[in-house]
Amino acid sequence: MKVVVTGAKGQLGKELVKWFREMEWNVYGYDKDELDITDAQQVISLLGHIHPHVVVHAGAYTKVDEAEKEKEKAFFVNAYGTRNVAVAAEKVGAKLVYVSTDYVFDGAQRVPYHEFSSPNPINIYGKSKLAGEQFVRDFHSRFFIVRTSWVFGAYGNNFVKTMLRLAKEKEEILVVDDQYGCPTYAVDLVQKIYELVQTEKYGLYHISNTGYCSWYEFAKIIFSEMGVNVRVQRCGTKDYPRLAARPSYSVFDHMALRLNGFELLRHWRDALREFLHEYEVKH
């Protein structure tokens, strides 16, 4: 079996490449230096040459704050780049996985968002990713749109690694306590994506580890698991101004996984514990 992974050098992309290889698939991983997804002809020609069974489109413009200044670039990559991948994947008859985000929601509700909740993004990044979802629906017939959130893992930059670094540099860390979401271990996410593509149960899925927390609670638990002695102070979003607005509540309900007979992911604390154990061994 052949799979093409876009964004192959990113946090999720590296895990995808690793897992599919372990499952003995032929993996073709491309990062933006090797495949320009905004070049429709290049994407069509590459997929036409490889003829993959599955395309996992994890490549994206992910700089949330920069996107406010580079609006056209964000839409070019996340919307039209995704259209190009969808069109090319459809052309060769490959199943398509598009990795999307909790940022498609405004955070105004206080009950978990399921797959039939209405999106209403409040920043350019979220709007461009939602536009990508729409292009997938418009131009592909056998797709899995996978929204995820608060991803952490061995590769790339993420909140967990940032906290561990800051703990070495500072005695006190300020963390926002009025934004809530679901942490997601990249390894668990990749295994669930792999499980999805074995089926014909197409559609939209919210995939994160179960349970939720605020960034402040997340930080406290990281330090307590690691036995790190650092003072964590709460602050509000208003005390930490960023260019892009963040949804204050983007907790997922995993309705699609439940209704389609998939097991839910383990609790985020269990996943975090496993990741931190491995991280400690390597560092």
pLDDT digits over 19-62, tens only? Answer: 999 999 999 999 999 999 999 999 999 999 999 999 999 999 99
pLDDT tens string 215-267: 999 999 999 999 999 999 999 999 989 999 999 999 999 999 999 999 999 99
pLDDT tens string 124-141: 999 999 999 999 999 999
Mean pLDDT of 82-101: 98
Q: Chain-centre distance of CA 151, in angstroms?
A: 6
pLDDT tens string 108-118: 999 999 999 99
Q: Chain-centre distance of CA 77, in angstroms?
A: 16
Reported residue count of the chain is 283
Phi, psi dihedrals of residue 27, rounded to the nearest 5°: -105, 130
Q: What pLDDT score was predicted for residue 96?
A: 99
Distance CA 153, CA 187 (A): 7
Whether 182 and 132 have beta carbons less than 8 Å apart is answered as no
* Rg of the Cα atoms in the chain: 18
What is the secondary structure of the chain as a DSSP string?
-EEEEESTTSHHHHHHHHHHHHTT-EEEEE-TTT--TT-HHHHHHHHHHH--SEEEE------TTHHHH-HHHHHIIIIIIHHHHHHHHHHTT-EEEEEEEGGGS-S--SS-B-TTSPP---SHHHHHHHHHHHHHHHH-SSEEEEEE-SEE-SSS--HHHHHHHHHHH-SEEEEESS-EE--EEHHHHHHHHHHHHTS---EEEE---BS-EEHHHHHHHHHHHHT---EEEEE-GGGS--SS---SB-PBP-HHHHHTTPPPPPBHHHHHHHHHHHHHHH-
Residue 159, pLDDT above cutoff 90: yes
Q: What pLDDT score was predicted for residue 240?
A: 86
Residue 283, pLDDT above cutoff 90: no
Q: What pLDDT score was predicted for residue 51?
A: 98
Mean pLDDT of 82-102: 98
pLDDT tens string 168-189: 999 999 999 999 999 999 999 9
What's the sign of the alpha-carbon dihedral 44, 48, 49, 53? positive
Whether 102 and 253 have beta carbons less than 8 Å apart is answered as no
The β-bridge relationship of strands 95-101 and 143-148 is: parallel
What residues act catalytically?
125
Distance CA 222, CA 215 (A): 11
pLDDT tens string 183-216: 999 999 999 999 999 999 999 999 999 999 999 9
Under 8 Å CB-to-CB from 233, ≥6 apart: which residues?
172, 173, 174, 175
